[in-house]
């Protein structure tokens, strides 16, 4: 019945696994689900496609949130409404520092809140910080699998393509920000407000610091990126299955 489903994502209000891996692309959600035992589709509405299954014996949810923070917050909020307490975002990002190579993982400790939505939810001074246990679990999983990875700050920005306004890229490069992406700070703020255990890990798919002024050369479909995504999925699921479950608040 419709009353048993949440209004935007159409996921069930009850009965879902308490741990979720969230990704941007609905097709990536399907591919991740293909690596789970006993995977089944739970819901598909708009950009939100949701599967459940088991990873190394642990029940997990995989769900897509689309591109950008505002729509992603709808998923994160409805996951919390459905009783999900632990969420890891797995996605791609552009590198902003030398030595952060294509296919490497970036484990976010915190995010710059340039996401276009959390400024309407909390004061500008409110931080976007990953749960410490998620950072440590992701780093441990990456080490266990021998996956190149980096820990530090990421920049969540709402706009993908540049236009008239100058992008403050160099300031954030100088400040040591590792990578740029589009949704993580929205998860970290929503998670903090709802009592979730949450964090994120990103696969590098290009060099944003050198190429953001033009789309020339941006190609996230290369083999090195695909290999990084394959490794990153395993790292994210290993970490997710090892974490405790947060208790989502109303």
What CATH number does residue 23 fall under?
3.40.50.1580
Burial class of residue 9, CB neighbours in 10 A (0-12, 13-18, 19+): buried
pTM: 0.96
Within-domain flag for 250: no
Residue 50 predicted with pLDDT over 50: yes
- CA angle (24 as vertex; 76, 205 as ends), nearest 5: 135
Residue 205 pLDDT: 94
pLDDT band at 210 (very low <50, low <70, confident <90, very high): low
Residue 150 domain boundaries = 2-242
- Whether 152 is covered by a domain: the verdict is yes
d(CA 206, CA 92): 9
pLDDT tens column, 6-37: 999 999 999 999 999 999 999 999 999 999 99
Q: CA triplet 199, 111, 122: central angle to 5 degrees? A: 95
pLDDT band at 1 (very low <50, low <70, confident <90, very high): low
Does residue 213 carry a pLDDT above 50?
no
* Domain annotation covers residue 248: no
Q: What is the pLDDT of residues 33-45, one digit of tens each?
A: 999 999 999 999 9
Does residue 247 lie in a domain region?
no
């Amino acid at each position: 019945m419709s009353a048993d489903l949440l209004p935007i994502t159409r996921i069930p209000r009850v009965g879902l696994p308490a741990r979720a891996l969230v990704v941007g692309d609905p097709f990536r959600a399907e591919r991740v689900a293909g690596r789970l035992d006993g995977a089944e589709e739970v819901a598909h509405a708009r950009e939100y496609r949701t599967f459940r299954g088991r990873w190394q014996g642990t029940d997990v949810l995989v769900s897509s949130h689309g591109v950008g923070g505002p729509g992603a917050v709808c998923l994160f909020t409805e996951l919390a409404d459905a009783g999900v307490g632990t969420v890891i975002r797995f996605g791609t990002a552009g590198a902003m520092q030398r030595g952060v190579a294509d296919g490497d993982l970036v484990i976010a400790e915190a995010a710059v809140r340039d996401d276009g939505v959390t400024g309407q939810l909390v004061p500008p001074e409110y931080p976007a910080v990953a749960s410490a246990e998620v950072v440590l679990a992701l780093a441990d999983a990456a080490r266990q699998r021998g996956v190149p990875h980096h820990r530090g700050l990421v920049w969540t920005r709402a706009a993908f393509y540049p236009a008239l306004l100058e992008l403050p890229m160099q300031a954030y490069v100088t400040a040591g920000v590792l990578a740029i992406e589009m949704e993580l700070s929205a998860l970290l703020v929503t998670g903090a407000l709802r009592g979730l255990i949450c964090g994120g890990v990103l696969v590098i798919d290009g060099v944003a610091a050198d190429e953001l002024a033009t789309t020339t050369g941006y190609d996230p479909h290369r083999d090195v990126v695909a290999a990084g995504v394959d490794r990153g999925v395993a790292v994210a699921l290993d970490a997710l299955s090892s974490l405790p479950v947060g208790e989502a608040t109303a």
